[in-house]
Amino acid sequence: MNQQPARSRKKTVTTQSETPLLTLVFTGERRKRRFRVIINGSSVMLTRKLLQALIDLILARTQSEQGFTRLPKIIIFRLRQTLDKAVAPKTGKTLIETGGSAEYRLVIPGGRLSEQVRFTNCFAELCDSRVITS
């Protein structure tokens, strides 16, 4: 009998240095109840709930070491789907990591947020008008 060698599964682990370089720009521009965000140069129009979820992910990264936050699965599904369609396939999974039991986090490490996430001046209008509540 021929014996074949046992197959081994390689486990891939992403470290901070391997985290893909992503850039997010929150513009504050709104059109037809959607809000414009630029991700890696691609314009994405998000509903208010999806925009709020993305901001919640950023805030979670600044508030804890691990950066995980609990968000509804359907919101994350829709956010990832919207990013995949507007930017490139798998952008949503690349940007938003899944923890356990409806826990999610932004893959951008907290220490690199200031380099990779920007807010334009008119974004403050959204906070002033209470469109954004975080």
Q: State pLDDT tens for residues 59-102.
A: 999 998 899 999 999 999 999 999 999 999 999 999 999 998 88
Percent of the chain with pLDDT over 70: 79
Answer yes or no: are the C-beta atoms of 103 and 70 closer than 8 Å: yes
How confident is the model at residue 21, as a pLDDT? Answer: 75
How confident is the model at residue 105, as a pLDDT? Answer: 96
How confident is the model at residue 120, as a pLDDT? Answer: 87
pTM for the structure as a whole: 0.80
Residue 4 — very low, low, confident or very high, per pLDDT cuts 50/70/90?
low
pLDDT in tens, 10-32: 444 444 445 567 899 999 898 99
Average pLDDT, the chain: 84
- Please state the domain extents for the chain: 21-128
